[in-house]
Amino acid sequence: MTAAIVLDAVSRAFGTVVALDRVSLEIAAGEFFALLGPSGSGKTTCLRIVAGFDEPDSGRVLLDGVDVTHAPPFRRDVNTVFQDYALFPHMTVADNVAYGLKVRGVAAAERSRRAREMLDLVRLGEHGVRRPHQLSGGQRQRVALARALINRPKVLLLDEPLGALDLKLREEMQAELKGLQQQLGITFVFVTHDQGEALSMADRVAVFSQGRIEQLDTPRALYNRPRTAFVASFVGSANVVNAEVARELTGRPQAFAIRPELIELAPVDTAVDDGAVRCTGTVLDVLYHGASSRCRVRLGNGTTLAVARPEHVAARQDLAAGAPVLLAWRPEHAVPLQD
């Protein structure tokens, strides 16, 4: 089967700043795909090149096997949900949604019937006669979604789709987007800087850093088996231990990552299982989050490690800043990192 989207060694520079450096990736049809990275990592440029708002300096873009590298946006079977929604302020919500049909010459009756269908799909059936400025942020987001989906594109691109929403709405929309994608079977590609969003919604995630893909994997693999220090700290904020410190702790000069929740804390003189890696340190501070507590512990060599403890453990053994403490973890939980 042909991939829905293929990027083949795509590069793009703005002046001297390299936004994309020979990026290659394949996205399968029907996949929910996330481009994750901090700002300036190249993820948005990547999306804009797929949509056709920007052209690569070199490399090719294939949609459904067809080379569209130099095709303008209106010739691509791809639609976009913009970060600021980009709803037309001079049109009603229904006209906004029907716009893609109107410019393709679909008759007015058919247009309004299908616009109504799309609005029902995003649960805004009664809001067709309103103007965009009369809607809330979440409603506008859903209008933008309906508008982008009305042409039944093969691929839907979403640029930071939930960035402008508040936390509660964002969580609702995550579930809604995921459900919609499964219902429609359309390939969704979304850009985000929020690792939680990427992990919870996507089938696969490409982590961008400095114009390159650091790692492309399923959310679970990304979380449990980060390959580089960047991925380990960006996705789920693991502790990254460099080779030098690693030699002091384990005897092997191999940098590794260890998740905060996989480190156990105990009083200094506790005996721990054979084979566990152990060291001592001093508690720097403790942040209580309810379900878990997060503390930072400074080791003798100056390295700081974050440790997360579930409430049922933290409640039994309350720690205060300045307390000496023993840290221990299973060696198989430490993920070796490339340099």
Partner 1 sequence: MRDRAYSMQGRSVFYFTLLLAPPLLWLGIVYLGSLFTLLLQSFYAIDEFTARVVPKVTLATYEVLLTRPAHVDIILRTVAMAVAVTIASAFIAFPVALYMARYAGPRLKALFYVGVMLPMWTSYLVKVYAWRLMLAKQGIASWGFDQLGLTGTLDRMLAVPVVGGPSLASSYLGMFAVFVYMWLPFMILPLAAALERVPASLLQASADLGATPNQTFRHVVLPLALPGLAAGSIFTFSLTLGDYIIPSVVGAPGYFIGMMVYQQQGTAGNLPLAAAFSVVPIVLIGLYLALAKRLGAFDAL
Among residues 12, 140, 147, 227, the one that binds partner 1 under rule CB under 8 A: 147
Q: By CB under 8 A, which span of 81-89, 176-184, 249-257, 304-312 interacts with partner 1?
A: 81-89
Q: By CB under 8 A, which span of 51-59, 165-173, 190-198, 260-268 interacts with partner 1?
A: 51-59
Q: By CB under 8 A, which span of 9-17, 85-93, 160-168, 218-226 interacts with partner 1?
A: 85-93
Task: Assess 103 for contact with partner 1 (CB under 8 A).
Answer: yes
Q: How far apart are CA 319 and CA 259, in angstroms?
A: 19
Start-to-end C-alpha separation, the chain: 36
Residue 325 sits at φ, ψ, to 5 deg, of -150, 155
Chain centroid to Cα 212, Å, comes to 15
Task: Assess 52 for contact with partner 1 (CB under 8 A).
Answer: yes
Chain centroid to Cα 300, Å, comes to 36
Among residues 30, 40, 73, 163, the one that binds partner 1 under rule CB under 8 A: 73
Q: What is the greatest pairwise CA distance in the chain?
A: 80
Count other Cβ atoms within 10 Å, centred on residue 16: 5
Task: Assess 152 for contact with partner 1 (CB under 8 A).
Answer: no
Cβ atoms 218, 197 nearer than 8 A: no
Task: Assess 148 for contact with partner 1 (CB under 8 A).
Answer: yes
Task: Assess 82 for contact with partner 1 (CB under 8 A).
Answer: yes
Q: By CB under 8 A, which span of 29-37, 102-110, 196-204, 309-317 interacts with partner 1?
A: 102-110
Q: How far apart are CA 135 and CA 84, in angstroms?
A: 14
Task: Tell me the β-bridge partners of 215.
Answer: 207
Task: Assess 86 for contact with partner 1 (CB under 8 A).
Answer: yes
CB nearer to partner 1: pick between 40 and 73: 73
Among residues 2, 9, 14, 53, the one that binds partner 1 under rule CB under 8 A: 53
- Residue 131 Cα distances to 48, 76, 79, 114, angstroms: 27, 28, 22, 18
The contact set with partner 1 (CB under 8 A) reads 51-53, 72-74, 78-80, 82-84, 86-90, 99-100, 102-104, 147-148, 151
